Amino acid sequence: MEEKRMPLLGDAFPQMTVQTTHGRLNLPDHYHGKWWVLFSHPADFTPVCTTEFIAFQKRKDEFDKLNTELIGLSMDQVFSHLKWEEWIKEKTGVEITFPIIADTGAVAEALGLIHPGKGTNTVRAVFIMDPEGKVRLILYYPQEIGRNIDEILRALKALQTSDAENVALPAGWPENELIRDAKIIPPPTSVKEKQERLEKKEKGEIDCYDWWFCYRKA
Protein backbone atom coordinates (compact mmCIF):
# COMPACT_ATOMS: atom_id res chain seq x y z
CA MET A 1 0.00 0.00 0.00
CA GLU A 2 1.31 3.42 -0.97
CA GLU A 3 2.07 5.58 2.05
CA LYS A 4 0.20 8.88 2.13
CA ARG A 5 2.18 12.01 2.88
CA MET A 6 1.72 15.73 2.54
CA PRO A 7 2.93 17.20 -0.77
CA LEU A 8 6.48 18.50 -0.79
CA LEU A 9 8.09 21.23 -2.89
CA GLY A 10 8.07 20.21 -6.53
CA ASP A 11 5.28 17.65 -6.06
CA ALA A 12 2.03 17.79 -7.98
CA PHE A 13 -0.81 19.08 -5.82
CA PRO A 14 -2.96 16.04 -4.92
CA GLN A 15 -6.15 15.53 -6.89
CA MET A 16 -9.24 16.28 -4.80
CA THR A 17 -12.78 17.60 -5.03
CA VAL A 18 -13.58 20.26 -2.45
CA GLN A 19 -16.75 22.01 -1.32
CA THR A 20 -16.33 25.78 -1.28
CA THR A 21 -18.35 28.95 -0.95
CA HIS A 22 -18.26 29.07 -4.78
CA GLY A 23 -19.48 25.49 -5.21
CA ARG A 24 -17.60 22.23 -5.71
CA LEU A 25 -14.17 22.56 -7.31
CA ASN A 26 -11.77 19.96 -8.65
CA LEU A 27 -8.21 20.73 -7.58
CA PRO A 28 -5.73 21.33 -9.06
CA ASP A 29 -7.52 21.13 -12.44
CA HIS A 30 -9.77 24.11 -11.72
CA TYR A 31 -6.75 26.42 -11.70
CA HIS A 32 -4.82 24.88 -14.59
CA GLY A 33 -2.89 27.57 -16.44
CA LYS A 34 -2.89 29.94 -13.45
CA TRP A 35 -0.84 30.36 -10.32
CA TRP A 36 -2.84 29.91 -7.15
CA VAL A 37 -2.42 30.35 -3.42
CA LEU A 38 -4.19 28.05 -0.96
CA PHE A 39 -4.09 29.23 2.64
CA SER A 40 -5.62 27.62 5.71
CA HIS A 41 -6.88 29.39 8.80
CA PRO A 42 -7.78 27.94 12.22
CA ALA A 43 -11.45 28.96 12.33
CA ASP A 44 -14.10 31.41 11.16
CA PHE A 45 -15.15 34.25 13.47
CA THR A 46 -11.70 34.57 15.04
CA PRO A 47 -9.84 37.90 15.23
CA VAL A 48 -6.48 37.07 13.61
CA CYS A 49 -8.11 35.13 10.77
CA THR A 50 -10.45 38.02 10.10
CA THR A 51 -7.52 40.43 9.74
CA GLU A 52 -5.80 38.00 7.35
CA PHE A 53 -8.84 37.58 5.10
CA ILE A 54 -9.26 41.34 4.87
CA ALA A 55 -5.54 41.70 4.06
CA PHE A 56 -5.75 39.06 1.31
CA GLN A 57 -8.85 40.67 -0.19
CA LYS A 58 -7.36 44.16 -0.14
CA ARG A 59 -4.44 42.84 -2.20
CA LYS A 60 -6.51 40.70 -4.55
CA ASP A 61 -5.93 43.11 -7.46
CA GLU A 62 -2.20 42.56 -7.03
CA PHE A 63 -2.66 38.79 -7.11
CA ASP A 64 -4.88 39.17 -10.19
CA LYS A 65 -2.11 41.07 -11.99
CA LEU A 66 0.16 38.09 -11.33
CA ASN A 67 -2.37 35.65 -12.88
CA THR A 68 -2.92 34.20 -9.42
CA GLU A 69 -6.08 32.96 -7.70
CA LEU A 70 -6.72 32.80 -3.96
CA ILE A 71 -8.54 30.05 -2.07
CA GLY A 72 -8.96 29.80 1.71
CA LEU A 73 -9.64 26.77 3.91
CA SER A 74 -10.69 25.80 7.41
CA MET A 75 -12.60 22.96 9.04
CA ASP A 76 -15.85 24.93 9.21
CA GLN A 77 -19.09 24.26 7.36
CA VAL A 78 -20.06 26.27 4.30
CA PHE A 79 -22.82 28.13 6.14
CA SER A 80 -20.25 29.30 8.71
CA HIS A 81 -17.98 30.62 5.93
CA LEU A 82 -20.92 32.41 4.30
CA LYS A 83 -22.07 33.98 7.57
CA TRP A 84 -18.52 35.07 8.39
CA GLU A 85 -18.21 36.69 4.96
CA GLU A 86 -21.46 38.56 5.66
CA TRP A 87 -20.11 39.71 9.02
CA ILE A 88 -16.84 40.94 7.49
CA LYS A 89 -18.70 42.93 4.83
CA GLU A 90 -21.18 44.38 7.32
CA LYS A 91 -18.62 45.36 9.95
CA THR A 92 -15.63 46.35 7.82
CA GLY A 93 -17.01 47.06 4.34
CA VAL A 94 -14.72 44.44 2.77
CA GLU A 95 -16.37 41.84 0.53
CA ILE A 96 -14.52 38.52 0.31
CA THR A 97 -14.62 37.47 -3.35
CA PHE A 98 -12.40 34.38 -3.38
CA PRO A 99 -13.66 30.88 -2.47
CA ILE A 100 -13.21 29.25 0.94
CA ILE A 101 -12.99 25.47 1.28
CA ALA A 102 -15.30 23.88 3.86
CA ASP A 103 -13.11 20.98 4.98
CA THR A 104 -14.33 17.93 6.86
CA GLY A 105 -10.74 17.05 7.75
CA ALA A 106 -9.77 15.14 4.61
CA VAL A 107 -8.03 18.10 2.95
CA ALA A 108 -6.26 19.07 6.18
CA GLU A 109 -4.97 15.51 6.52
CA ALA A 110 -3.81 15.35 2.90
CA LEU A 111 -1.93 18.65 3.17
CA GLY A 112 -0.51 18.23 6.68
CA LEU A 113 -2.47 21.13 8.16
CA ILE A 114 -3.11 19.59 11.58
CA HIS A 115 -0.10 19.76 13.88
CA PRO A 116 -0.93 17.82 17.08
CA GLY A 117 1.36 19.97 19.18
CA LYS A 118 -0.74 22.99 18.23
CA GLY A 119 -4.20 21.55 18.87
CA THR A 120 -6.92 20.24 16.57
CA ASN A 121 -7.47 23.31 14.38
CA THR A 122 -5.66 23.83 11.10
CA VAL A 123 -2.48 25.87 11.40
CA ARG A 124 -1.88 28.89 9.17
CA ALA A 125 -0.38 27.18 6.12
CA VAL A 126 0.32 28.71 2.70
CA PHE A 127 0.80 26.70 -0.48
CA ILE A 128 1.75 28.41 -3.75
CA MET A 129 1.11 26.36 -6.88
CA ASP A 130 2.27 27.09 -10.42
CA PRO A 131 0.15 26.85 -13.61
CA GLU A 132 0.97 23.14 -13.91
CA GLY A 133 -0.32 22.44 -10.41
CA LYS A 134 3.09 21.87 -8.83
CA VAL A 135 3.74 22.99 -5.26
CA ARG A 136 6.35 25.73 -5.37
CA LEU A 137 6.32 27.18 -1.85
CA ILE A 138 5.04 26.09 1.58
CA LEU A 139 4.84 28.28 4.68
CA TYR A 140 3.58 27.42 8.15
CA TYR A 141 2.57 29.86 10.87
CA PRO A 142 1.17 29.00 14.32
CA GLN A 143 -2.40 29.97 15.15
CA GLU A 144 -1.35 32.91 17.31
CA ILE A 145 0.59 34.79 14.60
CA GLY A 146 -0.96 36.36 11.53
CA ARG A 147 0.74 36.14 8.16
CA ASN A 148 2.43 38.94 6.23
CA ILE A 149 0.48 38.97 2.95
CA ASP A 150 3.04 41.28 1.33
CA GLU A 151 5.68 38.59 1.89
CA ILE A 152 3.48 36.05 0.13
CA LEU A 153 3.16 38.47 -2.80
CA ARG A 154 6.92 39.04 -2.80
CA ALA A 155 7.60 35.31 -2.86
CA LEU A 156 5.09 34.83 -5.68
CA LYS A 157 6.74 37.56 -7.77
CA ALA A 158 10.15 36.02 -7.08
CA LEU A 159 8.99 32.56 -8.19
CA GLN A 160 7.54 33.95 -11.40
CA THR A 161 10.67 35.98 -12.10
CA SER A 162 12.90 32.99 -11.43
CA ASP A 163 10.92 30.85 -13.86
CA ALA A 164 10.78 33.50 -16.59
CA GLU A 165 14.45 34.52 -16.46
CA ASN A 166 16.22 31.42 -15.11
CA VAL A 167 17.67 33.32 -12.17
CA ALA A 168 17.75 33.07 -8.40
CA LEU A 169 16.67 35.93 -6.18
CA PRO A 170 18.60 37.17 -3.12
CA ALA A 171 17.33 37.66 0.41
CA GLY A 172 14.71 40.38 0.65
CA TRP A 173 14.57 40.83 -3.14
CA PRO A 174 13.99 43.32 -4.66
CA GLU A 175 15.55 45.24 -1.76
CA ASN A 176 18.56 43.13 -0.89
CA GLU A 177 21.21 44.83 1.27
CA LEU A 178 24.07 43.63 -0.93
CA ILE A 179 22.92 43.69 -4.55
CA ARG A 180 19.57 45.52 -4.26
CA ASP A 181 17.19 44.39 -7.03
CA ALA A 182 19.79 42.49 -9.07
CA LYS A 183 19.15 38.87 -10.07
CA ILE A 184 21.61 36.08 -9.33
CA ILE A 185 22.83 33.98 -12.25
CA PRO A 186 22.94 30.26 -11.38
CA PRO A 187 26.53 29.07 -10.73
CA PRO A 188 28.35 27.41 -13.67
CA THR A 189 28.33 23.62 -13.82
CA SER A 190 31.45 23.08 -15.95
CA VAL A 191 34.90 24.52 -16.56
CA LYS A 192 33.68 25.89 -19.90
CA GLU A 193 30.75 27.69 -18.27
CA LYS A 194 33.06 29.05 -15.61
CA GLN A 195 35.36 30.53 -18.26
CA GLU A 196 32.42 32.00 -20.18
CA ARG A 197 31.18 33.57 -16.97
CA LEU A 198 34.56 35.24 -16.37
CA GLU A 199 34.64 36.50 -19.96
CA LYS A 200 31.21 38.08 -19.57
CA LYS A 201 32.42 39.76 -16.40
CA GLU A 202 35.46 41.18 -18.24
CA LYS A 203 33.17 42.55 -20.96
CA GLY A 204 30.99 44.21 -18.34
CA GLU A 205 27.95 42.13 -19.29
CA ILE A 206 27.48 40.89 -15.73
CA ASP A 207 28.81 41.69 -12.26
CA CYS A 208 30.53 39.13 -10.04
CA TYR A 209 32.00 38.87 -6.57
CA ASP A 210 33.55 35.64 -7.79
CA TRP A 211 32.87 33.18 -10.60
CA TRP A 212 30.28 31.36 -8.49
CA PHE A 213 28.50 34.56 -7.35
CA CYS A 214 27.50 36.56 -10.43
CA TYR A 215 24.46 38.72 -10.95
CA ARG A 216 22.89 41.07 -13.41
CA LYS A 217 21.23 44.32 -12.55
CA ALA A 218 17.54 44.84 -13.20
Whether 49 sits among the annotated catalytic residues: the reply is yes
- Predicted TM-score of the model (pTM): 0.93
Which residue numbers in the chain have pLDDT < 70?
1-4
Q: What is the 3-state secondary structure (H, E, C) of the chain?
A: CCCCCCCCCCCECCCEEEEECCEEEEECHHHCCCEEEEEECCCCCCHHHHHHHHHHHHCHHHHHHCCEEEEEEECCCHHHHHHHHHHHHHHHCCCCCCCEEECCCHHHHHHCCECHHHCCCECEEEEEECCCCEEEEEEEECCCCCCCHHHHHHHHHHHHHHHHHCCECCCCCCCECCCECCEEECCCCCHHHHHHHHHHHHCCCCEEEECCEEEECC
| pLDDT for residue 4 | 61
Q: Which of 49, 123, 152, 167 is catalytic?
A: 49
| pLDDT for residue 91 | 98
What domains does the chain contain, in order, with CATH numbers? 16-146 (3.40.30.10), 166-218 (3.30.1020.10)
| pLDDT for residue 6 | 85
| pLDDT for residue 103 | 94
